[in-house]
Structure 1
């Protein structure tokens, strides 16, 4: 049963919001993010046995990875929203794609959370995608808790990893636990707040909760000897160098609490879950497009941060994920769709746990509502009740770097082809660009990473039964055409003008040199960076 729908009676939205902890799990690929997601659910006792990617070592596949491509490749391509109760709190945990090709989906998820858990691989430390995600969190002011994972395997020294976080991303590390034993020889952790040793007992394939064994310092020294002495010495060094916890710095997103463990072994997960409950920020009033905060106890409002189709292969339905911002959501209520001003029914509202679903009757600020068969909703849309109208800022699109013309290989499936392309665009799987010159039968797909094309082809063939061919284009630079009357000037042998599905005219160039040449030939040409582009 959904944690948000236990009584069927509406409670105080402010009080319920204070019980919510809504966060994303983000990391570089292969850092163990989906495994951590399930380990947290295991410790909250909402599942009885954890899985792992590919079901290695006799374990099942993770419940938050459900697409065939995810199971085959062992990576998360989509985001999954999990909700469960723990210690009188409601946890809304959003798992995200780890692969950089799907960073746009991760960005959308980060617009819907109040904090994030960042995983670092003990052997690899900060990797390129990790750095990018930290930058997004910092830009949005999202507090980050760092979990250094895979301490049961050989890796780098703990102090070295903390120094890297400080030096490369400017976040001051504040370890809450400290490893006892070097990576690969993990006895447990020193809990800095209590000074106690927390040891772990191994379980078969890490499929069940690892039992904890707590010892006071003197008994810990007798148990693990030099490794305990070293951990105590390093913890004292941390205190002397400003590594103690500072709540103000954490909420200001200038420092990060750090914990150590192993998700696949379920070591240190309990401490992470407890710290999330204790430290993660609660939902707060969210600013609308006018910059005015929407108070938590105002009438219901929410914004759509993700649209996903095919989560239930037997029904081929479409789910819009909406983050509740204010008031109480009641299943069946009629809300206003801000983009159209039209009423929108919410009869089919669900709490989504991977592929598992429950009917959701009530939800509060911080919760994620899955609206089924919401064909009218797009990413960034606002829903609300009451007056005056409210609209939250949209979610910006990233500047695509890869482009391909797509067409169907079966003319008899043209109707399915058009429907599939439209749906992929609405979900944000790819951006769809069109022009009169290319026609409706040959739209251009634009992506941040090439793997998005693989997902698009897979879904077109398997979900919409419309086999396609793709022809990669040589463009790599895109700009917004600021003045549509300059279209003929910008559309030349050096460039091409296409319209995004939202009506934005984009100019595509092969490279930066070609763009600069165009600007030199036509200095009056108005070209702007794509929203979300850092260039």
Structure 2
């Protein structure tokens, strides 16, 4: 697999920092499971010519796994269960030179917390919709996170090569259910299941797609005039033209201000598995997606792009390199220029932090990163002191807002299957908690050898158990608990709560006291009987 590193301009004066920031496009792809998110991610890398061949995975034995799905469980199941960064350079056909920071996110609802952390580090989102299914529950949930964070959204209606719903019907659903006005940039020529190409609404031209074997290589495109399109596509071209005229009459045309204001969404149609419509998406990201802007600190004050270097950690991941068992902290650069080897300040401790081992990440592959600018994602190797939400800075202090944890709804007691491996067990628990794989709750009653794991979804337990066994060589036994609700409480309320039936109070690693309840009826009964108790909902993402 061939890969070229993004070109960098060395030189850390202010004009250089601002110019380099303008070249960055940092975005995430969000969707419901099985909408084709990882396939689209790899197709974008293919069209940017940083890989030579795409390998879509659909959970079937013998298929090639995608670049962004590198964990064993991802390859076996054909789903994304952890977020991944892909950084590469791309030169658009008009010569515009960009550095792409693409963050592939888990689609499964059980990993919403990981997706939320990624969305804290991007400037734009690509919302992928299945042409047959339309807006699905996880897509809606992630859209709400984007709305909360004021992240502009580009909508991609995927799988147009398969039978699906009417294009106008899908646009109506988007507007009615999430309140974003769709403004299509391309329009399909051919109904879902008979995809010939797209009408580019900006030029009026027909972009005709040609299939390749298995969709593994870039699909050739022919750009044709309206007259030639009528000869080739006949009635389907006529229908596309008429529907575009309806869109124009309805005012559904792209407007940059409303897009960046998060009230409209540009729309494109693709068949990612065939690499149809992918180059159009790349060019829209280059020319329409926003470049990095000033980041707000914890006090709501903007940190200018040309201020001294600062970044925040949005993800920690171990187990990517099985040979070295190292640990990687992903940090989004917010201001200034980064140079490998810089000694910066870890805001949480006030201690110096050396960035000697800084890397550019491309899925599981990594290369040394010498310089980085606002919008870039840096991989810091063996950064054991760093946690999710930590801030790094140079010269001028700054502290970015912490990344909140989701409210857990599933709980289980974890024990080492081999009692003789209690030290490895505790190290593994600490590592996976720091990565954000799981939340860990403890109490004196249960002890260190039987912590309670708290998760947004049950699949997190599967990932935890799998990684403990395969990466850390410490198989575990999990005992599900019947709690479903957690509330934050105060030290003075612990004794009263512990005396209640079907209630348990434990301490999270960050010091928060969490009271666990069997169900909402039990919670309601206790609140009614003891109105003086403080039982605060845990703040989730949106």
For residues 39-438 of structure 1, what are the structure 2 equivalents within 5 Å? 39-53=43-57, 60-87=64-91, 88-387=97-396, 389-438=397-446
CA contact (8 A) 1:338 1:390 kept: yes
Paired residue secondary structure (1:53): coil
- What's the counterpart of residue 94 of structure 2? none
Contact 1:143/1:253 (<8 A) preserved? yes
Using the alignment, how far apart are the partners of 1:170 and 1:450 within structure 2?
A: 31
Whole-Å Cα distance in 1 between the matches of residues 472 and 234 of structure 2? 62
State the alpha-carbon separation in 2 of the partners of residues 84 and 511 from structure 1: 47
Matches within 5 A, 1:19-58: 19-53=23-57
Cα distance, 1:3 vs structure 2: 4.5
How far the C-alpha of 1:60 sits from its partner, in A, is 2.7
TM-score (norm 1): 0.97
Runs of 4+ in structure 1 deviating by more than 2 angstroms, as ranges, are 1-11, 54-60
Deviation at 1:10, TM superposition (A): 3.5
- Whole-Å Cα distance in 1 between the matches of residues 538 and 64 of structure 2? 42
Tell me the equivalent position of 2:497. 490
Deviation at residue 494 of structure 1 after TM alignment: 3.0
CA shift for structure 1 position 4: 5.4
Name the SS of the counterpart of 2:272 in structure 1: coil
Secondary structure at the counterpart of residue 159 of structure 1:
helix
Is 2:332–2:378's contact at 8 Å kept on the other side of the alignment?
yes
Residue aligned with 1:264, SS: helix
* Alignment CA distance shift 1:57-1:399 (3 Å): closer
The answer on whether the counterparts of 1:4 and 1:362 sit within 8 Å (CA) in structure 2 is no
TM-superposed CA distance for 1:314, in Å, is 1.1
Which of the residues 458, 475, 486 maps onto 2:466?
Answer: 458
Q: Which runs of 5+ in 2 are unaligned?
A: 92-96
| 2:525 is the counterpart of 1:517 | yes
- Preserved contact between residue 59 and residue 76 of structure 2 (Cα < 8 Å): no
Contact 1:494 1:518 in 2 (8 A): no
The total of aligned residue pairs comes to: 532
Partners of 2:393 and 2:4 in 1: CA distance: 22
Give the deviation of 1:227 after TM superposition.
0.3
3-state DSSP of counterpart to 2:223: strand
Q: CA deviation at 1:493?
A: 2.2
Does the 8 Å CA contact 2:131/2:158 hold for their aligned counterparts? yes
Change (3 A) 1:7 1:140: closer
Aligned position for 1:15: 19
- TM-score using structure 2 length: 0.96
Write the deviation string for residues 474-502 of structure 1: whole angstroms up to 9, x where unpaired.
00011111x22211112232311111111
Q: How well do the aligned residues superpose, as a CA RMSD in angstroms?
A: 1.4
Worse overlay, 375-384 or 522-531: 522-531
For the 8 Å contact 1:5–1:362, the answer to whether it is kept is no
Deviation at 1:196, TM superposition (A): 0.5
Asked if structure 2 preserves the Cα contact closer than 8 Å seen for 1:5 and 1:360, the reply is: no
